[in-house]
A and B are shown apart, each in its own frame.
Chain A
Amino acid sequence: MGILDKLRFEKLKQGLSKTRDGLFGSVTRLVTSKNTIDDEVIEQLEETLIAADVGVEATMEIIEAIRKRIKEERYADVQELQHLLRDEIQRQFVQTSNEFTDPFNITGQKPHVIMVVGVNGVGKTTTIGKLAHHFAQRGMKVTLGAADTFRAAANEQLEVWAKRADVHLIRHAKDGDPAAVAFDAVQSATARGDDVVIIDTAGRLHTRVNLMEELKKIRRVIQKQNPDAPHETLLILDATTGQNGITQAREFGAAVGVTGLVITKLDGTAKGGIALSITRTLKIPVRFVGIGEQLDDLQPFSRKEFVDALFEETAT
């Protein structure tokens, strides 16, 4: 592990320490006070996973797998239970092809178009600000498309982020056609030879049929500019979201083909279970996690790091 990776890992660990305390603190405490694993431990584990928003189904499967392994392999002590847990939780995350590559390292066709979608208030604009910053830091030319023409002052908010990250911004007047903004952003970035275009869209509940249609239209219009675009469609999910997150991912996925998830506000909640539920149910990989309010508090996701950090015993 290089020094940068190490730093990144420490940061992630720090951000996740709350998650870890919440998710495994009680299990660890419970098993350290006992020498063997019995039904009470399993029941506690079930409760702990459910309380972390992992969801009933995933929890049952993890528990079942653990029970089976306890029976077959005769695991009996604390360390082994920890290993089992870590193993099972890792298994629940889909293997993603790019997991060990750097998601900020964009190769191939230019501009790389990223469309960002999600329900209201999950942190789309903030995430875009952070993404833009990361790309710009790597010397890439970035254009942001302010296609949230609905929410009051959304343009202004993205403008602040564009200035902070020192990137180009395409915006229209409020209440304009969001698809037109997206079109212009891709067109302008193509003309200038930019590396990355990130399209911000208005937050919308996945149950609003007309707004989901609007989202499809934005995608279609982007495709008119470039049939391969968007190269990535990120669904932003608030870590505090409960089981509705699965429906969100399913509906946005059906509408615009979500290719990756970003879990935000992971520093603020004691849980992170929704990430697990969504990715195992819908096979959509988690690309990034947001673990703080600073510009660089957006980290590429790796299930190993995620789970390792959860289990790291010497928390800071």
Chain B
Amino acid sequence: MFEELSRKLDGVLKRLRGEGKLSQGNISETLREVRRVLLDADVNYKVAKRFIDDVQQRAIGKEVLQSITPGQLIVKIIRDELVTLLGTSNSELKFSSSPPTVILIAGLQGSGKTTFSAKLANELKKQGRHPLLVAADVYRPAAIDQLTTLGSQIDIPVYSVRESDAVSIASHSVDHARKNARDVVIIDTAGRLHVDEEMMREVEAIKYRTKPSEILFVVDAMTGQDAVNTAKAFHDRLNFDGAVLTKMDGDARGGAAISLRATVGKPIKFLSTGEKLDALEKFHPDRLASRILGMGDIVSLVEKANEQFDQEKAAKLESKIRKSQFTIEDFYEQLQEMKKMGPLSQLVGMIPGMNKLPQGAAVDDGAMVKIEAIIQSMTREERQKPQVLNGSRRKRIAMGSGTSVQEVNRMLKQFDQMQKMMKTMSKGFGGGGMRRMARGIPGF
């Protein structure tokens, strides 16, 4: 989701690598480029400016003296600042001590409130709660039908009254929940413009009447500079508790996340990542920051400074790649090494050159778990020489890893492709071969 920003920053910072010293001159050039990257990513220009100022302040100072190399240091500073900007903790929802807990969902038209409401209900249901969805959008044609349909898909009741007004629907819904033993009420309100006084008063009235424990502001991840203004306006009226970034499965650079967090000071609580009703993720600022800067080799060198990465092993790996001796065993070792690093995006980046993923490529956690299981079910010999893998061996591996023979075959085929790509790569690092290699691995 943030690949594009990462890629751009990667390009910019590459120029800093190999520089002997961090001078005022080369910092300012780099930072100007970073600013541009941030602006292209829809980070609000004020936020971007503040960010750059902070980085500059930290970069020119005593910390430079302790640096490993100037390039590594500035990457680390940028990353730390980004983490700070995105917030430092995960946020949970607040639940009322006297049920039902009311959660109010608000935002602009088309930001994805209704879909998110259903996803949230589904998530809370999985946690053993008993949500009630409330359709309080009496304006958009068929909005009530939309929520009703979604509710029935996840088997969650939907409360609404046709030919009524939003405020009374909302306030009656709370009584309805109480009578019907529903412990969470999720009120999906109509999309509204922050400049529409009448509509903003309506949502204020809903807040007043239903006393929500949690108000969530839903914002489209593709939003531009204006994200800050709408967030501010909604925040002034509702004092919302957190934000939800939707459509995060697209390739929007996602600067809205940075702007929003920096401007209203409220946490981003969820990421909505698809049209399926379970496509909801918790927001992890640290993960996101790493992802924004998911710059493979340089980041891993910084990580090495944090003593998490065995550089020797990496060097060995690189020499193996160059000699085309990369085995499944090595691949597995890399997987383990990468897991220490945390997020999967970094895992990708750790294979030299693999951070340059094609645009729009996504990383799939599930697929990686399977690959791991498959490799674990192989003998040492099989890992070294995959050509010994006959039908019965493959069947055994599938049984052992809880996968199917097809999946084992696919993994082997992908490994084979990867090996070929590595060969191409060893002739000339980078280039188109990388992209093909990346595609060869499931989930990439």
Instruction: Give A contacts to B, CB under 8 Å.
Output: 18, 47, 50-53, 55-56, 119-123, 150-157, 159-161, 174, 205-208, 238, 240-245, 247-248, 265, 267-271, 273-274
Query: Are A240 and B251 interface neighbours, CB within 8 A?
Result: no
Query: Are A271 and B225 interface neighbours, CB within 8 A?
Result: yes
User: Which chain B residues numbered 111 to 167 have a C-beta less than 8 Å away from chain A?
Assistant: 111-112, 140-143, 145-150, 153
* Interface residues contributed by chain B, number (CB under 8 Å): 46
Interface string of B64-102 (1 = CB under 8 A from A): 000000000000000000000000000000000000000
Q: Does B40 have its Cβ within 8 Å of any Cβ on chain A?
A: yes
Query: Are B222 and A153 interface neighbours, CB within 8 A?
Result: no
- Provide the residues of chain B in CB contact with A238, threshold 8 Å: 110, 220, 222
Query: Are B39 and A50 interface neighbours, CB within 8 A?
Result: yes
User: Which chain B residues numbered 152 to 207 have a C-beta less than 8 Å away from chain A?
Assistant: 153, 193-196
User: Which chain B residues numbered 247 to 266 have a C-beta less than 8 Å away from chain A?
Assistant: 247, 249-253, 255-256
12 new A-B contacts, CB < 8 A, other than A51-B225, A206-B250, A265-B108, are A50-B39, A50-B225, A123-B109, A152-B145, A152-B146, A155-B142, A159-B142, A205-B247, A240-B224, A241-B223, A244-B222, A269-B229
CA distance A120 to B227 in the complex (A): 17
Partner of B224, one of A47, A152, A159, A243: A243
CB-CB under 8 A for A47 and B225, given A120-B112, A267-B193: no
- Provide the residues of chain A in CB contact with B256, threshold 8 Å: 242
Query: Are B42 and A243 interface neighbours, CB within 8 A?
Result: yes
A52, A153, A240, A241 interface centre (most CB from chain B within 10 Å): A240
Query: Are B247 and A243 interface neighbours, CB within 8 A?
Result: no
CB distance from A59 to the nearest CB of B (A): 9
Query: Are A243 and B41 interface neighbours, CB within 8 A?
Result: yes
8 closest Cβ pairs, A-B complex: A242-B224, A121-B110, A242-B42, A160-B141, A152-B149, A153-B145, A268-B193, A156-B142
Show 9 A/B contacts (Cβ-Cβ < 8 Å), sorted by A.
A47-B45, A120-B112, A152-B145, A156-B142, A205-B251, A238-B220, A243-B42, A265-B110, A271-B225
CB distance from B50 to the nearest CB of A (A): 13
- Provide the residues of chain A in CB contact with B275, threshold 8 Å: 120, 150
CA distance A302 to B50 in the complex (A): 37
- Provide the residues of chain A in CB contact with B227, threshold 8 Å: 240, 242
Query: Are B40 and A243 interface neighbours, CB within 8 A?
Result: yes
- Provide the residues of chain A in CB contact with B255, threshold 8 Å: 242
Please give me the residue from chain B that is nearest to A150 by CB atom: B275
Partner of A121, one of B141, B194, B220: B220
CA distance A265 to B110 in the complex (A): 10
CA distance A154 to B40 in the complex (A): 33
Q: Does B211 have its Cβ within 8 Å of any Cβ on chain A?
A: no
CA distance A154 to B13 in the complex (A): 46
| Chain A interface main SS type | loop
A159, A174, A241 interface centre (most CB from chain B within 10 Å): A241
CB-CB under 8 A for A242 and B142, given A120-B110, A121-B110: no
CA distance A152 to B194 in the complex (A): 26
CA distance A247 to B150 in the complex (A): 30
Please give me the residue from chain A that is nearest to B42 by CB atom: A242
Query: Are B110 and A153 interface neighbours, CB within 8 A?
Result: no
CB-CB under 8 A for A56 and B40, given A157-B142, A207-B360, A271-B224: yes
Query: Are B145 and A53 interface neighbours, CB within 8 A?
Result: no
- Provide the residues of chain B in CB contact with A207, threshold 8 Å: 249-251, 360
Please give me the residue from chain B that is nearest to A293 by CB atom: B139
Partner of A119, one of B147, B149, B247: B247
CA distance A243 to B36 in the complex (A): 12
Instruction: Give B contacts to A, CB under 8 Å.
Output: 36, 39-42, 44-45, 108-112, 140-143, 145-150, 153, 193-196, 220, 222-227, 229-230, 247, 249-253, 255-256, 275, 360
CB-CB under 8 A for A156 and B249, given A50-B39, A51-B225, A244-B42: no
Query: Are B229 and A123 interface neighbours, CB within 8 A?
Result: no
CA distance A160 to B140 in the complex (A): 10
- Provide the residues of chain B in CB contact with A241, threshold 8 Å: 220, 222-224
CB-CB under 8 A for A242 and B229, given A121-B112, A157-B142: no
CB distance from B47 to the nearest CB of A (A): 11
Q: Number of A-B pairs whose CB atoms are under 8 Å?
A: 138
CB distance from A293 to the nearest CB of B (A): 8
- Provide the residues of chain A in CB contact with B44, threshold 8 Å: 51
Query: Are B224 and A53 interface neighbours, CB within 8 A?
Result: yes
CA distance A244 to B255 in the complex (A): 10
CB-CB under 8 A for A153 and B142, given A120-B110, A244-B250, A244-B253: yes
Please give me the residue from chain B that is nearest to A156 by CB atom: B142
Partner of A52, one of B108, B112, B225: B225
- Provide the residues of chain A in CB contact with B141, threshold 8 Å: 156-157, 159-161
- Provide the residues of chain A in CB contact with B109, threshold 8 Å: 121, 123, 265, 268
Please give me the residue from chain A that is nearest to B251 by CB atom: A207
- Provide the residues of chain A in CB contact with B360, threshold 8 Å: 207
- Provide the residues of chain A in CB contact with B153, threshold 8 Å: 152
CB-CB under 8 A for A270 and B229, given A240-B108, A244-B251: yes
CA distance A252 to B11 in the complex (A): 27
CA distance A100 to B229 in the complex (A): 35
Query: Are A53 and B110 interface neighbours, CB within 8 A?
Result: no
CA distance A270 to B222 in the complex (A): 16
CA distance A160 to B225 in the complex (A): 34
Partner of A157, one of B39, B140, B223, B252: B140
CA distance A242 to B253 in the complex (A): 9
- Provide the residues of chain B in CB contact with A156, threshold 8 Å: 141-142, 145-146
CA distance A47 to B225 in the complex (A): 11
CB distance from A124 to the nearest CB of B (A): 9
- Provide the residues of chain A in CB contact with B193, threshold 8 Å: 265, 267-268
B39, B40, B41, B110 interface centre (most CB from chain A within 10 Å): B110
- Provide the residues of chain B in CB contact with A153, threshold 8 Å: 142-143, 145-146, 148-149
CB distance from A236 to the nearest CB of B (A): 10
CB distance from A18 to the nearest CB of B (A): 7
CA distance A153 to B229 in the complex (A): 31
- Provide the residues of chain B in CB contact with A123, threshold 8 Å: 109-110
Query: Are A244 and B252 interface neighbours, CB within 8 A?
Result: yes
- Provide the residues of chain A in CB contact with B110, threshold 8 Å: 120-123, 238, 265
CA distance A271 to B226 in the complex (A): 7
CB distance from A157 to the nearest CB of B (A): 4
Query: Are B36 and A56 interface neighbours, CB within 8 A?
Result: yes
CA distance A273 to B251 in the complex (A): 20
CB distance from B121 to the nearest CB of A (A): 14
